[in-house]
Amino acid sequence: MNPPLNLGTLLTDSITNTLDVSLPLFRPELCLAATIVLLLVCRMLPVLRHADSAVVALGGVGFGLWYAWCDLKSLPAGGDLLAGRQELFTGLLVYDSLTAYVRLVILGFLALYIVFTRVSGIPDREDGADFYALVLGASLGMCLMSAANHILMLFMAVEMASVPSYALAGLLKGRKASSEAALKYAVYGAGAAGIMLYGLSLMAGILGTCHLPSMAVELAKVAHVGSDGGGVMVLSLGGLMLAVGLAFKLSAVPFHFWCPDVFEGAAAEVGAFLSVASKAAAVALLLRVAFGLGVPAASLGVPAANGASAATLAALGDTRHFMVYVVALMAAVTCTLGNLAAYGQTNMKRLLAYSTVAHAGYLMMGVAAAIAMAGVTATGTRDAVTAVAFYLGTYVFMNLGAFAIVAVLRNSLRSEEISAYAGLVRTSPGIVVAMAAVLVSLIGLPPLAGFVSKFLVFSSLVEAIASGAERPLMLVLLVVGGLNTVISLFYYLRVLKVMTFDPPPADRALEPFPLVSVPGAVVTGLVLPVVGFGLFWSGLYAAAQLAGAFAS
Amino acid sequence: MDTAAQLPLLLGLAWLAPLASFVAILFFGPRMGPHGRNAAWVATAAIVASLVLSLFAAGAWLGAHPVQVSHHGSGDVAAADTHAGDHAVDHHPVADSVAYSGDWYTLYRGGALRLSIGWYIDALTVLMFVVVTFIATCIHVYASGYMHDELHDVTDHEVHLSGGGHLHRPGRFPRFFQALSLFCFSMLGIVIAGNLAMVFIFWELVGICSWFLIGFYYERKSASTAANKAFIVNRVGDFGMLIGLMALWGALGTLHFADSQAIDGDVARPGLFSLVRPAAGGHAIRVPDGMVKFAAAAEVAKTPPAEVAGKIEDWRSMGLGRWLLLIAGVGIFCGCVGKSAQFPLFVWLPDAMEGPTPVSALVHSATMVAAGVYLVGRFYPVLTPDVLLVIAYVGAITLFIAATIALVATDIKRVLAYSTVSQLGYMMLALGVGGWAAGLFHLVTHAFFKSLLFLCSGSVIHACHTNDMRKMGGLARVMPWTAGTMLVGCLAIIGAGVPFVIGLSGYYSKDAILAQALAFSRANPAHSILFVAVAGGAFLTAFYMFRLWFMTFAGEPRDHHVAEHAHESPAVMVAPLVVLAVLAVVAGWTLPGGFGLPNLLEQARPVGTAEGMTGGFAFGELVFPAEHLSHEGAVHVTATLTAFATAAAGVALAALMYLLRIISPAVVATIFKPAYTFLAGRWYFDELYHAMFVVPALAVANLASGTDRGVIDRIIDGLAWTARQLAGVDAWIDRTLVDGLVNATAAATWNAGIELKKLQTGHLRQYVMFIVVGTVALFVLASLLFRTSLAG
């Protein structure tokens, strides 16, 4: 069937494909890349040396955001969803509604983040260009993670997102804790990456391809034909090793050890970046891998010439079953351990690090429900992915808000210990109210955004139970999720208790933090959506539904 | 911009300006100058803006629809006679009737129901806007003088505290203007409303404003009682109105007056007017299909759907659905009975005079109480002959009862209040006998002279600090402006004028009513009593109005203490009197060329009513003569002479008794003692309602509370006691067992957390070890869980 190989036509084909199809849909990433170059060039040219790098970065991100927004807008809403799917760069990347949505979340977060760091002042003028170049570089990697369609690309993207993060963790150059955090992060990351690379090479070796949809087809063949036990065994091992790499990015238990140390050592601003953007990209990548390998490509619009059909969907049942178990167990453990370990923390950033771990667990529950329902009920799958996407959208504001408050309080209190916040309500009630909104949203109480997110995730678990997909496991997940929400009440509310009821320390000579100020405005701007999305969530939900469409 | 786009914009802004003032005073009232003095300016500026916009709208209207000399020429009448019954021929002002309608904002849309904020603008709307905003402007100016007491702390001498002293409270100047602004907004909302739902919303809003304003001195028991009475009595009427609304919506699925355009996905729908008076039938009244089907529900269920449409005509001719239309009409009229203080719900209006006098003038004489009349006029196309007859009789009874009570009342504001009730009865009666233009014409002229009369009475009360006419007398010397303008008002209300030549505004409107009533009586001899009521009412009106004027202004002072302190009111209060007096004189005039209120109103005449109407099933066949016929020949002459004679007789009798003192009122009262007592007791309506409604309601309430206390509370107390005993046991279990368990769990969780914390050693070497351990653990777990699948 293949046309005769002709270098000339091959070249022209690939050039036209690159220029006409791939590059236009790659514009947001191109914007980021160009901005990085611009930042570095500014540094070298004497004329532009004094340009504010935050402004340059914000400009570049603004362009990227605009393109990402246009891309999301131009997706067919509710119509032919598969028409929007495009494989880019000869199948290395895939562009679909999930890519568009996650990219928008990451870039949107980035824009807010740049404004917030500019105000909180953690990269000083000297470091600004480096800091933003690193942040943009990592974000570029995260965008690629959300679009990876090829395991080589997957690995590249993960590394591209990770390496700048290591450097970011060590941003506070003078501080020992910061350097230590960077070192731990780098070594831990290298270990995880090594294991993941090993797993990937095992899988590629057995299946003979690196293209995710093609791998699914091969997997189906293996499952269908039933090879000798060795093949399946090796494949399972490879899959588990891949899971280790993803778990590292998600900071899922038991690969979360880096997380509290890095968060405590690095600046709060860096913590915010790692806990939000990195998490969003990792969840997107998890969805990519799970659906790439577990759901036959035919249903995702890859030409039927690949030999995929509805029959393979059934053939991949075991694969999905395996994945659901791994993801669900990890989710349950991550959630529980994250919440329990947050007890008794005295450092706010460390507490938030464990909170991040716990939230990764909730997110993975949604992913587990989505995979479980694939092949059972299409709308259920879609709802579950929608719930996860919605969760990501609100999580941006909750967590960025929490870290922003930590950062501005650090600037005025010179401390990040919870005990230092005692009695703050007497001098700065505004910031305490903001903190309360954020923390209560993280618990997931109405009427805040966190409630809606959690509600959607749990309701997709219920949907899975109702549709009979992996019923006992989903039931366990639901119970674990509910219990964890109760557990988490305690440590979040303890912070509020300290802020409101405890007497302020005698030696505090603190200017009351005014909410009417530039940092106050930033905090307010981040916290308002937490309330807003709790009350008016239909807009974000519609966008998340678009993202969910990728799975239907 | 064409007129169709201009008018909603101008009138819409005129409608919203008082709302802006209300909001501003609500939030910033107390900060507007010392004691909120500037609130008066804000409210006045808003209402002046409304007036200016309304005048612009009137200009736009007249520019687009110049007022024609009316089509009452004899040639037309002849033509109408030749074509009697031939409605398809359009040779009457029917074609001139123009209305603009549309929606600003749709509140809710579900099925056929569309609740929206919209407009229905015709000549009547524009006229009402000008009248309401004009009178409101005068009254705002007047009130900014009258209410000056509220600018500082007030000692209310009518409130006796238990300690023996009087109530001392801060002034409420901004609050008054705030309520006044809200009232103007609500009233204009009724006038501009494009559908009955919106009318109902603003109907209730004016009710609330009325409650605020009557109860302005809420520390006085009489004022708060009066406010509650007004509100509750109005609810009775509104209950009927709700029934009417339900009948219309349930059967017709729309509450819009006019046909609505197709907007965002909704199809164009016919409005109430064209449903009841379809253009295809020459705008003759007809039971709409929806009501026929509703009434014939049993038949419809038996008939195949395809044949239903064909059978509607049969069912209609059988009379199905006509009762529903009757109920709808009477239901809506019930609302008007409450709001316009008609029999039997008129009892609230005299008590409403507890409010400040500017409120009495604006709300309880000129505008709000006229809203009922306005709604009957607006809703006229839907009213069947039977409903009109009900309206006519209610109006007649009201006008008679109220006029008789006014004969003996001694409180100056109460005389005016009963006079208002009586005049509203006039308007209702006029509408009920087919005098659409006559009734609304009287509404406008009455608004001018009655607000004038009230403001004059306010000026008198301001000067004398009493409402009792028996303590007044001879005030004309000290307050000439007030006396003069009040005389103009009295002359206007009795319809004084030189017959067939010229007269005050009331002369024209009252003549029109008398003429129409006479024409109706001649066409329906069985109902001639209506004309008698009108003519008798005219006599009584003349008597009690001049009794009031003579007692107040003529003769010698009866109470020297009062007379010594009396003084003319300040210019800010007199100026509105003069302006209103001028209008009370000229409002009824028709200028050469035909420009005048009657011809302007003809532009808004509902289609299909110009020719008169025949029909009716509940009270026999009724004939409503065409209104223009009553302006012709013998009917007109008889009516004018009757009006003049009765009014003159009334004035003469009043003069004999109170000016010349030839007949002693005291002697008359003794001779007719039973009648006098009956009238002074206000026909004992309050007592009757007390016995009929209040006492039974209280009895039921007492019974209920007795049951509650004696039976239910006992049971509950018993249950509570049992529950307490059980709770004691439960508390012990809770404290020892449950709390122990919970505390143990919490401690366990806490310890688990602390233990987990220890895992985080911070040693990098261990962390890397954990990666390997974790991966291996994962392998082990997976191989345990998936033993079978891994084995192939």
> What pLDDT does B147 receive?
84
Report the alpha-carbon distance of residue A349 to residue B775 in Å, rounded.
28
> What pLDDT does A2 receive?
54
Residue B61 has pLDDT above 50, yes or no: yes
Report the alpha-carbon distance of residue B181 to residue B737 in Å, rounded.
65
Q: Is B106 exposed, middle or buried (0-12, 13-18, 19+ CB in 10 A)?
A: middle
Cα distance from B778 to chain A (closest Cα, Å)? 7
Q: Is B675 exposed, middle or buried (0-12, 13-18, 19+ CB in 10 A)?
A: middle
| Among the listed residues A361, A391, A387, the one whose alpha carbon sits nearest the alpha carbon of residue A456 | A387
Report the alpha-carbon distance of residue A550 to residue B525 in Å, rounded.
83
Sorted by where each begins, the domain ranges of chain B are: 385-680, 685-760, 761-792
Interface contact B773-A254, CB threshold 8 A? yes
Report the alpha-carbon distance of residue A447 to residue A436 in Å, rounded.
13
pLDDT tens-digit map of B145-173: 888 888 888 787 777 777 777 888 888 88
Interface probe for A, chosen from B760, B771, B790 (most Cβ of A below 10 Å), is B771
Interface contact B789-A318, CB threshold 8 A? yes
Report the alpha-carbon distance of residue A77 to residue B769 in Å, rounded.
48
CB < 8 Å to A342, chain B:
753
Q: Is B392 exposed, middle or buried (0-12, 13-18, 19+ CB in 10 A)?
A: buried
Neighbours of B456 (CB within 10 A): 34
∠ CA A428-A432-A434, nearest 5°, is 120
CA-to-CA separations, A259 to A186, B244, B766, in angstroms, rounded: 12, 70, 14
DSSP string over A469-518: TTHHHHHHHHHHHHHHHHHHHHHHHHHHHHHHTSPPPTT---PPPPSSSH
Looking at chain B, which residue has its C-alpha nearest residue A242? B775
Q: Is B307 exposed, middle or buried (0-12, 13-18, 19+ CB in 10 A)?
A: exposed
CB B495 within 8 A of CB B510: yes
Interface contact B775-A241, CB threshold 8 A? yes
pTM for this predicted structure: 0.60
> What pLDDT does B1 receive?
60
Cα distance from B734 to chain A (closest Cα, Å)? 21
CB < 8 Å to A236, chain B:
782, 786, 789-790
Mean pLDDT calculated for residue range B437-459: 91
Residue B328 has pLDDT above 60, yes or no: yes
| Among the listed residues B48, B47, B29, B49, the one whose alpha carbon sits nearest the alpha carbon of residue B39 | B29
Q: Is A187 exposed, middle or buried (0-12, 13-18, 19+ CB in 10 A)?
A: middle
Cα distance from B509 to chain A (closest Cα, Å)? 58
CB A207 within 8 A of CB A218: yes
Kindly give, in sequence order, each residue whose CB lies less than 8 Å from that of residue B238, ignoring residues fewer than 6 positions away: B200, B203, B204, B207, B334, B335, B338
pLDDT tens-digit map of A462-496: 999 998 888 899 999 999 999 999 889 888 998 99
Which residue of B749, B756, B774 is in closest CB contact with A255? B774
Query: If interface means Cβ-Cβ distance under 8 Å, which residues of chain A face chain B?
Result: 183-184, 187-188, 191-192, 195, 226-229, 232-233, 236-237, 240-241, 243-244, 254-255, 257-258, 260-261, 318, 322, 325-326, 329, 337, 340-345, 487
Residue B587 has pLDDT above 90, yes or no: no
> What pLDDT does A307 receive?
46
Interface probe for A, chosen from B757, B758, B765 (most Cβ of A below 10 Å), is B757
CB A345 within 8 A of CB A356: no
Give, for all 552 residues of chain A, the pLDDT tens digit: 455 667 888 788 888 878 887 888 889 999 999 999 998 888 888 877 777 888 889 999 999 999 998 888 887 665 445 556 788 888 889 888 889 999 999 999 999 999 999 888 887 777 788 899 999 999 999 999 999 989 999 999 999 999 999 999 988 878 888 888 899 899 999 999 999 999 999 999 988 888 888 888 888 887 766 555 567 888 888 999 999 999 999 999 888 888 988 998 888 899 999 999 999 999 999 999 998 888 765 444 444 434 445 666 777 888 888 889 899 999 999 999 898 888 878 899 999 999 999 999 999 999 999 999 887 888 888 899 999 999 999 999 999 999 999 998 888 888 888 988 888 888 888 889 999 999 999 999 888 999 999 999 999 999 999 988 888 999 999 999 999 998 898 889 989 999 998 888 877 766 667 777 888 888 888 899 999 888 888 888 888 888 887 775
Report the alpha-carbon distance of residue B351 to residue B220 in Å, rounded.
13
Cα distance from B773 to chain A (closest Cα, Å)? 9
Taking each helix axis from N to C terminus, what angle separates B436-464 and B412-432, rounded to the nearest 10 degrees? 180
Q: Is the dihedral of CA B755, B758, B760, B766 positive or negative?
A: negative
B136 vs B361, residue with greater confidence: B136
Report the alpha-carbon distance of residue A267 to residue B620 in Å, rounded.
93
Which residue of B754, B770, B786 is in closest CB contact with A343? B754
Which residue of B750, B753, B789 is in closest CB contact with A232? B789
pLDDT tens-digit map of B412-447: 888 999 999 999 999 999 999 988 889 999 999 999
Cα distance from A319 to chain B (closest Cα, Å)? 10
Interface contact A244-B773, CB threshold 8 A? no
